Homo-oligomer: A and B are copies of this chain.
Amino acid sequence: MVKLNLSGIFPPLPTSFDKDENLLPDKIRHNIEKLSVYGLSGFLILGSNGEQVMLSEKERSEAVAAAREALPKDKLLLAGTGGQSTRETIRLTKAAAAEGADAVLVINPFYFKGLMTHEALVKHYLDVADVSPVPVIVYNMPGNTGIDMTAAMVIEMAAHPNIVGMKESGGNVVKMGEVLRSVRPDFQVLAGGAGFLLPALSMGAVGGILALSNIAPAQAIEIYRLFLAGDMVNARALQHKMIPVNAAVTARWGVPALKAAMDHLGLYGGPSRRPLLPLKNDIMEQLLKLISESEIKQFPV
């Protein structure tokens, strides 16, 4: 029995702010409504692209509530709730569940890098899973945290019945295989980046939480569909086509570029919170060129 079916594509929605960096719950709802016509499996609110680390606890609850309101009941709402302490993570997890999150995505604590041993991290996730009202998904994001959780850690965490999957954002497809060969059959791995969606699926991932799917939901879903249909040639061609624009809105220019792309395509992007800076003009030009070359379409008004 799979508790939660994580198959398919989930956008990690950016959090909307006005020009003074105040939270705009209305724009969160607006974006979810616009994106909900594409056959996505649900949304992640308050992931890395959601600037989670920049929100107060109160704002986090408001963002989850807004997302839940806008999202049809048959779509999954995942909420990012990882903090630096087990205590904070549990508090955020309970709050997100109370606001209607179906599952929580928990990034590992990472400030005290030298002390984040196998034992410390495994215990942290088990402690959170023990009391979480909703299933827990492990979130590995070494580019931001500076810690790359090992397959051995995830395998040990996966023995907990309330830990149902992992998002691997480091692009380590070998680790995905190591995990999948060793865990219970219903533990689900999600790709954390559109650049390696097809290789991840080939290794056994069931889908992805992909920044790119905020601006190119149709294309992300199409790669997934072509893979399921066994059409590797066209899946690969579309995967190749998406790589540059995906890099632009993730590793290269990050959340501000993703938001700028959303603004350009007919969603609400808006500013990021400082110290994230708006794109410079020359970067904006390069971004628009990459979007144009990728044949990503404007969202209908």
Contact = CB atoms under 8 A, between A and B. Distances in A.
A97 B232 CA distance: 37
- A interface, over-half SS: helix
B276 A243 contact: no
Contact of A196 (B21, B146, B173, B255): B173
A204 B196 CA distance: 12
Given A87-B274, A243-B178, A243-B181, A202 B198 contact: yes
B173 A53 contact: no
**Central interface residue in A54, A236, A243, A275, by most chain B CB within 10 Å:** A275
Interface stretch (A5-13, A38-46, A71-79, A113-121): A113-121
B112 A276 contact: yes
A254 interface: yes
Interface in A83-127: 84-88, 109, 111-117, 119-121, 123-124, 127
A222 B229 CA distance: 22
Nearest to A277: B120
Interface string A56-88: 110000000000000000000000000011111
Interface residues on A, range: 35 or more
For this chain, the copies found in one complex come to 4
**Central interface residue in A84, A88, A243, by most chain B CB within 10 Å:** A243
A165 B235 CA distance: 23
A194 to B, nearest CB: 9
A86 B202 contact: no
Nearest to A86: B274
List the 3 closest pairs (A to B, CB-CB), nearest first: A199-B199, A146-B146, A54-B85
A17 B97 CA distance: 28
